[in-house]
Amino acid sequence: MKAYYLSVEGRDEAGGVIVFAENYNQAIGNWDCELEYERWIDRRCKRAPEFDGMENASHYEMTLKQWHEGWWFDTEVRCPWEGEATDEDFKKWYEKEYQDD
């Protein structure tokens, strides 16, 4: 499936989410995520081909891919910087941060 990045116009601090759908209309039409918006025209949806085919990925696999793509995570334990850390460093951070998930 194709990957799409959903976000809210003017709310960069809220971040965004990756969803999977056959097309744009399906992706934005099934807005079922934690991103809140006041006006439906503030919803944003764009292709994220770097995540295509990952609809069955585990939470860890998706988070690792996001990290490699430069995403940041607003978490209790500071996430290592991708430019200086290894995948093993990331895995240690992930296990501390998401140990209860």
Show which of 15, 33, 51 is a domain's final residue.
51
- Split at pLDDT 50, 70, 90, the class of 33 is low
State the Cα–Cα distance between residues 19 and 32, nearest whole angstrom.
Answer: 9
Six-digit token pair at 69?
A: 């793509």
Are both 8 and 43 inside the same structural domain?
yes
In the chain, the number of structural domains is 2
pLDDT value for 13: 66
State the Cα–Cα distance between residues 53 and 91, nearest whole angstrom.
Answer: 22
Are both 20 and 44 inside the same structural domain?
yes
State the Cα–Cα distance between residues 1 and 49, nearest whole angstrom.
Answer: 10
The H or E element spanning position 29 is helix 24-29
Are both 9 and 46 inside the same structural domain?
yes
Are both 37 and 9 inside the same structural domain?
yes
Over range 23-33, report the average pLDDT.
83
pTM: 0.81
Main-chain phi, psi angles of 89, to 5 degrees: -60, -40
Q: Which domain holds residue 90?
A: 59-97
Q: What is the pLDDT of residues 57-86, one digit of tens each?
A: 999 999 999 999 998 887 777 888 888 899
Are both 64 and 47 inside the same structural domain?
no
Are both 7 and 46 inside the same structural domain?
yes
